[in-house]
Amino acid sequence: SALAAGSPEHVDVVSTAHRGAMGHAPENTLAAFALGVEMGSDLVESDVQRSKDGVLVLMHDTTLSRTTDVEQVFPDRAPWRVSDFTYEEIQQLDAGSWFSEEYAGEPVPTMAQMIELIRPTRAGILMELKSPALYPGIERQVAEEFASYPGYVTSAVRAERLVVQSFDWASMERYHEVQPSVPVGLLGRPAEALLPELSTWADQINPGYTTFDAAYVGTVHELGMEVHTYTVNRAGDMNQVLDRGVDGVITNFPDVLEDVLAER
């Protein structure tokens, strides 16, 4: 709380578990999301794309190769694009073994499964639309998925537990039009000159942690937006971005961030 704070900048810093606690468990699996919650993160980040038959699935790369055994299971299906596989096929994949044997058999989750996992907890969701230009209409589809859980959007937004972000800013402007109650974040570092216009509909500017300074954070704040920076994994770097006044830190190691925040 503000009263317990030794200095103002760490008050209510939002901790986000990147692709789940991906430093400790295979990225974008339910196991990694659960670990992020367990480690005290306020939000769990994930990347949403769409299967060939229209199911919203959570995967970082636009191909399935790096984080699943797709090349063994479907050897003749190069280049193994997410959008070329049905959900029934994606369900057959192992998204855990590449990380460690402990997670063998972890499936590729759907967006619905993530909502159902996170919704009963104290944590929330930072959903990234990954390469949305590949998936026409995905903004409306994601909005409808959130809205299909009665009361979820209203209560999660009120608790600051639901944000949608993308590197594709035009996609985020569309998302804002489709579901204006849900805050949207712009990944990357828009030039200062663009910020006033972006601030008419965007809520967060979410830059890489080496790309901005305290003055930039000040400008974003003056325009009524927040800064959540990625992907900050070392304690020293966490302290540096907190000194620059960020509102949130996106990390593979929520446990490290917890310790850093406790020390400030």
Query: Which CB atom, from 10 or from 124, has the smaller least distance to Ca ion?
Result: 124
60 is catalytic: yes
Calpha distance 142→148 (Å, rounded): 10
Interface with ligand G3P, residue 50, by CB under 6 A: no
230 binds, among Ca ion, ligand G3P, none (CB under 5 to 8 A by kind): ligand G3P
- Which residue in the set 14, 15, 17, 18 belongs to the binding site for ligand G3P (CB under 6 A)? 18
Say which of 10, 24, 60, 221 is annotated catalytic.
60
Question: Cβ–Cβ contacts within 10 Å for residue 214, how many?
Answer: 13
Give the x/- contact pattern for ligand G3P in 216-245, rule: CB under 6 A.
Answer: --------------xx--------------
Q: Which of 125, 142, 187, 232 binds ligand G3P (CB under 6 A)?
A: 187
Please name the residue that has the structure tokens 């606690």: 21
Applying CB under 5 A, which part among 80-88, 126-134, 147-155, 217-225 lies near Ca ion? 126-134
Is residue 257 a contact residue for ligand G3P (CB under 6 A)?
A: no
Task: Classify residue 112 as left (phi > 0), alpha (psi -120 to 50) or beta.
Answer: alpha
27, 61, 94, 128: residue in contact with Ca ion (rule CB under 5 A): 128
Widest pairwise Cα distance in the chain? 61
**d(Cα 65, Cα 54) in Å, to the nearest integer?**
20
Closest residue to ligand G3P, based on beta-carbon distance: 230
Part in contact with Ca ion (CB under 5 A); list of ranges 67-75, 111-119, 122-130, 173-181 = 122-130
Helical ranges in 125-192 per DSSP H: 138-147, 152-158, 169-178
As a whole number of angstroms, the distance between CA 101 and CA 122 comes to 29
- Number of neighbouring beta carbons within 10 Å of residue 165: 28
Shortest CB 151 distance to ligand G3P, Å: 26
Q: Which residues contact 95 (CB under 8 A, 6 or more apart)?
A: 26, 28, 29, 67, 68, 106, 107, 108
Verify binding: residue 168, Ca ion, rule CB under 5 A: no
Our finding on whether 58 is near ligand G3P (CB under 6 A) is no
Residues carrying an active site annotation = 18, 60
